[in-house]
Chain A
């Protein structure tokens, strides 16, 4: 297996992007799942469709929409530029792309965890004097930990593989925005790059297996701790 310094940068960048996207999305994912499970809202269907849309849309389409939104002429892009924040074609754009694409997976898992919580547990806590946010953090959050963790690892793994949306909003700049999939894409399109592509593929497999193993192990541990 051979890795060039650029490959190492791509690996580090991939991990950094995936981790940032996951951490950034967690509070939002938790909040949205809570709204969907515990609140009666008008327009819940709309929220549901919006959250799940990235699951069915081609990532390239998402990337293009993000480009329109964050680009020079997009309202968010203008706003960000005014505050001195450049997003398009930086690693931050890759984080945003990964966050949007992986978000439905995160929400789905947290939601599954929350749906398994008996409503009467929340009602019990409220009648014992806990306000809604107290109940949210002392009952719902600890009892959704498995779902949160499963969602986070799924999202992390999905972000590592993000390609379509990333290449459009972050580009494929070696050393700056080139993540593992983009680097493999580069190698695969050059005639002499197949050995290098394979090496990076191997790295991808190793990281994915490690994430899945961690997912299994921690999942079991959480199961044990709640089964006490």
Chain B
């Protein structure tokens, strides 16, 4: 999918100038609230008309002020998953799911309701009204409804912001599996770096009504390390722990990690802040932290006075963050060996 935007829009005192040309299947739009992310979504979906400019999806013109083209929203085949599910309150779950499907031309109906209902585990909910669904269920139905419209592009406008943390990370696998299984490219809008890292491969950064850069989630996370409250977030997928002395022992590549907040059996997703990692030049004699990994420095980067140290622990990547003075004192250079100490309680389980 290729999306080209070159559009201006003035809304009261706010003005948006969106200029971008991105290709890819999983594109993020990142920015703080009020930066203009949702305006970009509305322009692409056709819910707002640019004052002037052009918007192309692949080779088709969705809007062009010079050629007087303005495709109506229903003809764009761009479905939206909203922050607050926006399910139709007078319709059942089933009728909500089929709303877009019924309006989709028969030749475009590639995704069948049965397979999607199975994938999203919606069967038991089908005949219910939508008012008494839980937040996570509502968002799954909203996702199903959007996907069943068989869109060319899915716009996910902060679809996780209204959910609590646990639920948020329960929905992410659904969002990913649906778009991968049915090959629907998406624009994922969010102000969360973690979500960007989990959901996207390219990111447009929106700030004060401008698209300021096109980057990767990794570069974005590195750039924002110093200003982000939790620093750089290392995300680790770990499974099948062994319970030992009240701690969960996980395999991480050829390393092992001791984690307090583990969960038996299933795969879990852990978040580890770059600030929770303490680096030693030499092997410390005795230490209270339950994890001590011997690592090689593969890369270093600067972020606003802080230094990010990219470590490789037997091939597994980890990013630690230290201040410039510490980096000088330890005389860290790419290739040097360090010991990384991490407390078992520093890992927080997202899922």
Contacts and interface: CB of A to CB of B under 8 A. Distances in A.
Interface of A: 118, 120-121, 123-132, 134, 138-139, 142-143, 225-228
B267 interface: no
Given A123-B47, A227-B131, A130 B74 contact: yes
B199 interface: no
Interface string B90-118: 10000000011001100000000000000
Given A130-B103, A134-B103, A228-B131, A125 B88 contact: yes
Interface stretch (B51-59, B77-85, B176-184, B301-309): B77-85
Contact of B80 (A127, A131, A132, A139): A127
Interface in B145-162: 145-146, 149, 155
B80 A129 contact: no
A41 B77 CA distance: 27
Contact of B73 (A127, A142, A227, A228): A127
A90 B73 CA distance: 49
A81 to B, nearest CB: 44
B89 A128 contact: no
A81 B84 CA distance: 56
A187 B77 CA distance: 67
Interface of B: 45-47, 72-74, 76-80, 82, 84, 86, 88-90, 99-100, 103-104, 129, 131, 145-146, 149, 155
Contact of B74 (A121, A131, A226): A131
A67 to B, nearest CB: 44
B90 A226 contact: yes
A129 B88 contact: no
Contacts of B84: 120
A120 B82 contact: yes
B38 to A, nearest CB: 11
B110 to A, nearest CB: 15
18 contacts: A121-B88, A123-B47, A124-B80, A124-B82, A126-B46, A126-B47, A127-B46, A127-B47, A127-B79, A127-B146, A127-B149, A128-B103, A129-B103, A129-B149, A139-B88, A142-B90, A227-B129, A228-B129
A118 B74 contact: no
B86 A120 contact: yes
Contacts of B131: 227-228
A226 B131 CA distance: 9
A142 B74 CA distance: 20
Contact of A129 (B45, B86, B90, B104): B104
A134 B129 CA distance: 22
B74 A124 contact: no
B72 A129 contact: no
Contacts of B99: 125, 128, 130, 138
A86 to B, nearest CB: 44
A200 to B, nearest CB: 42
Contacts of B88: 121, 124-125, 139
Contacts of A129: 74, 77, 100, 103-104, 149
A130 B99 CA distance: 9
A220 B47 CA distance: 34
A129 B79 CA distance: 9
